[in-house]
Structure 1
Amino acid sequence: MVVFMISLILAILFGNLLTLAVVIGTKHFHTPQGYLKASLAVADLAVGIFVVPVSVYSEVSLMIYNSMPEWTARNSQTTPFHPCNFIGPVFAGCTLVSITTIFLLTIERSIAVLRPLHKESVITKKRTSILIVFSWMGSFFLAISPLVFSDEIALEYNPCSRMCNYALGSADFPSQAWNILLLFPAFDFTLLGGTIVINIISLTTIRQHSKRRKHLAETESQSSTKPTFSDIKAAKTIGTLTLAFTASFTPIAVFVVGNVLGNEWCNFAFFAFWILTSNSCCNVIIYGVRDQKFRSRAYQLLISAQLNTAPKKTEYETTVNGGKDNEETVKQT
């Protein structure tokens, strides 16, 4: 389990730092879509930096000292400075940011596909930046809302999921406080449902354009009212992102609803939470498979980083190799 968690941290850090390097370091990706992808990478990066290391620390403590840290046996209501007071909202907030960002990516791509002439005027960098700020503020407000609006809800380290989760503090089950926790799956599935519907409309439109191109003349198929090839590829990429996140988030929603109904589902809790966490390293794989420009730029960055870390030649080796190269050039001439 510890090997899995550490490997996941490395994968999350590598994948999302590579995504940020490509988006920030390449002028081609300085677009509204690039800004949204960078926001998604930052949210995933926060999971790898803050959330997973706490689980690793707890499991390593169990291995070395044969006991968990003291704070894992208490909740945030009984411990003033409980680590889960920070880790729990970060994980929930970053999950909500990911869902909101995928929804915004879907809206951006649907406008590019359905209204290509209005794309430049409707989708601007300034508007996208404002939406990103509001998505982060709204997501983290929703993440801390159970603690703000209910005294019965606390954060604790769950031994089943090996993560900081929301739970009842001192109240006995059942409690009306659980209804507040249903805000998470309700909000998430509302956004995911809308995202799926918009993706279906966009992909249906793309399919209709593909059929028309087979019957139209070359001049008509290249009309400016049709979405470009890059817009179509980007829309399919966002569709893949939506499908992957929906598949990884669904077990969490089922688990939360099961908890409200009184089921513990210990083994299922572990798989549900860690399937969702593993999604934080999947986006760069989707970009690399679906986006050729992203794949090429990422490959260039990795090659240049490898060359920079390679040992440099000495002055003697450079002189000798240069002389051999010159001799070879003379022979070929």
Structure 2
Amino acid sequence: MGSQVTGWGTEMETYSTSTEMGDILSPIADATWLWQPIKWSWWISFQVISSLLGVVGNLLVMILILGGRHLRSSSDVLIGHLALADFLTSVFMFPLPRAEHVPSTPLAEAYCRFIFTSFFMWLSIFMSIMILMVISLERFVAIVYPLHFQRFRRRRYVTKLILCLWALSIAANVHIVVNMSVDGKSRQCRVKHTSRNWQIVTGVIIFLITFAIPASVMIITQVIAARTLKAQSRRFDGALSNISNGSNSLILARNRLLHMLYLVIAIFIVCWGPNNIAYFLYNLHVLDQSYLYGPVDRILVVVAFYNSCANPIVYAIRYPRFRRAIRRLLSCAPVNSGTLFDFNATSATGRQDQTLNHTVMNTVSNNLSRA
């Protein structure tokens, strides 16, 4: 495609020697869209495969959770919206042809600001990060402060929180739209040049809110939650064994869900870490301007995208309840309307499990109040 662009430019230079002909062709050139076709390299192929896996996997999670009639668990709602954000990320991750030359029109401005920059993709990515951080906080409160957790479980609170997170995601990504425009001379989508100090400040803020703070919150809350759960298990082993043998399944369900979250968080850090660190170095002017939208940047972005399609795979590997629900869905059997990713859920069913759960939580709460 580069040779085609060069030939087109040479032809325009030849015609421009004639003032009359140049005046005629100039408006035509300014109103022309010139598209660069997709070059099918190995990383583009990997991007398409990751997109398809993310769309299918997260769609199944959404059908199982958000499609249910009875959502009694805040964990289900949060993980369902995490799947929605990852689903949108996977959809917007599909490679599209890029405009090499755009006219100076409002439509071209909209293209450069929203499509060329993949604004909607980064919006859903930021939303996915925020929900994952909130899930970690929710697990932290459920384990460390079980009495206060009942207030957080209320569905209207979770719905308001989701709306606030979407508003925060939009506000955090406005800079993408603001810093891109149509260059009047080259008729290309160009990042606006800002002052060196402002770019550094913006880069630090973006790095903090998109990676450093979420990753720190996830790691700290899950470490504290794991230590608290282990201490509670040792402290109340005798009490739980006197209640029912089924209490062991409650402890196993909690540990299994925590281990699943550990793996999800680890994948997030491994996938998003290199991309965020490289972009941070770019804003600090450690990396050259050619890095942005260059080959290395695109490869790191593709690696980061794998986080969006990995979560359903983790659910299937680490969570038996999810595997059973998928098998029932694929076999066209009715899917249970109960919770899927509930911290207080056990492998058994019926009112006996609910009674056991309340008994265990009351025992834990009474002992905590005495301590």
Give the TM-score of the pair, scaled to structure 1: 0.72
1:44 equivalenced with 2:93 (yes/no) = no
Unaligned runs of 5+ in 2: 1-41, 183-188, 334-371
Question: Residue in 1 aligned with 2:267?
Answer: 244
Question: Residue in 2 aligned with 1:102?
Answer: 132
Residue type matched to 1:290 in 2?
R
Question: Residue in 2 aligned with 1:299?
Answer: 327
Cα distance between partner residues in 2 of 1:130 and 1:222: 39
Task: Describe the shift of the 1:112–1:233 C-alpha distance in structure 2 as closer, same or farther (beyond 3 A).
Answer: farther
Cα distance between partner residues in 2 of 1:75 and 1:236: 53
Aligned partner of 2:156 among 126, 129, 144: 126
1:181 equivalenced with 2:203 (yes/no) = yes
1:253-309: per-residue Cα shift (whole Å, max 9, x none)? 21112212331355532332111111110110111122211111012112329xxxx
Matched-pair contact (CA < 8 Å) for 1:44–1:94: yes
Question: Residue in 1 aligned with 2:119?
Answer: 89
Cα distance between partner residues in 2 of 1:146 and 1:249: 18
Question: Residue in 2 aligned with 1:159?
Answer: none
Residue type matched to 2:114 in 1?
N
Cα distance between partner residues in 2 of 1:70 and 1:10: 27
Aligned partner of 1:18 among 36, 60, 66: 60
Question: Residue in 2 aligned with 1:57?
Answer: 96
Secondary structure of 1:57's counterpart equals coil
Matched-pair contact (CA < 8 Å) for 1:12–1:48: yes
Question: Residue in 1 aligned with 2:11?
Answer: none
Give the TM-score of the pair, scaled to structure 2: 0.65
Give the length in aligned residue pairs.
276
Aligned partner of 1:4 among 29, 42, 46: 46
1:308-332: per-residue Cα shift (whole Å, max 9, x none)? xxxxxxxxxxxxxxxxxxxxxxxxx
Residue type matched to 1:239 in 2?
Y
1:34 equivalenced with 2:52 (yes/no) = no
1:27 deviates by 5.6
Matched-pair contact (CA < 8 Å) for 2:113–2:180: no
Cα distance between partner residues in 1 of 2:271 and 2:209: 16
Residue type matched to 1:89 in 2?
F
Question: Residue in 2 aligned with 1:113?
Answer: 143
Task: Describe the shift of the 1:129–1:286 C-alpha distance in structure 2 as closer, same or farther (beyond 3 A).
Answer: same
Task: Describe the shift of the 1:155–1:228 C-alpha distance in structure 2 as closer, same or farther (beyond 3 A).
Answer: farther
Select between 79-88 and 235-244 the one with higher mean Cα deviation: 79-88
Task: Describe the shift of the 1:275–1:13 C-alpha distance in structure 2 as closer, same or farther (beyond 3 A).
Answer: same
Cα distance between partner residues in 1 of 2:181 and 2:206: 15
Unaligned runs of 5+ in 1: 59-67, 157-165, 306-333
Task: Describe the shift of the 1:29–1:217 C-alpha distance in structure 2 as closer, same or farther (beyond 3 A).
Answer: closer
Residue type matched to 1:183 in 2?
I
Cα distance between partner residues in 1 of 2:140 and 2:284: 38
Matched-pair contact (CA < 8 Å) for 1:103–1:191: yes
Residue type matched to 1:180 in 2?
T
1:79 deviates by 4.2
Cα distance between partner residues in 2 of 1:24 and 1:30: 11
Secondary structure of 1:82's counterpart equals helix
